Amino acid sequence: MADLLLDTHSLVFFLERSPELSVRARQAIRAALDARERVIVSVVSLVEIVYLAEKKRISTVACDRIIDALFNQNTGIDVIGFDPEMLTSLQSIPRQQVPDMPDRMISATAVHLGIPLVTRDADIRGADIQTIW
Residues 67-84: tens digit of each pLDDT: 998 887 778 899 999 999
Cβ pair 77, 38 in contact under 8 A: no
Cα 50–Cα 52–Cα 55 angle in degrees, nearest 5 = 110
- Report d(CA 11, CA 17) in Å as an integer: 10
- Report d(CA 124, CA 102) in Å as an integer: 11
80-98 pLDDT, tens digit per residue, is 999 999 999 999 999 999 9
Cβ pair 28, 22 in contact under 8 A: no
User: Dihedral through CA 51, CA 122, CA 102, CA 98, nearest 10?
Assistant: -140
Mean pLDDT of 43-59: 95
Share of the chain above pLDDT 90, in %: 90
- Residue 66, CA atoms < 13 Å, CB-side half-sphere: 28
Is the pLDDT confidence value at 33 over 80? yes
Q: Which domains does the chain have, with CATH numbers?
A: 4-132 (3.40.50.1010)
Question: What rounded mean pLDDT belongs to the chain?
Answer: 94
Q: CB neighbours of 87 closer than 8 A, spacing ≥ 6?
A: 108
Residue 43, Cβ neighbours under 10 Å: how many? 14
Mean pLDDT of 30-39: 94
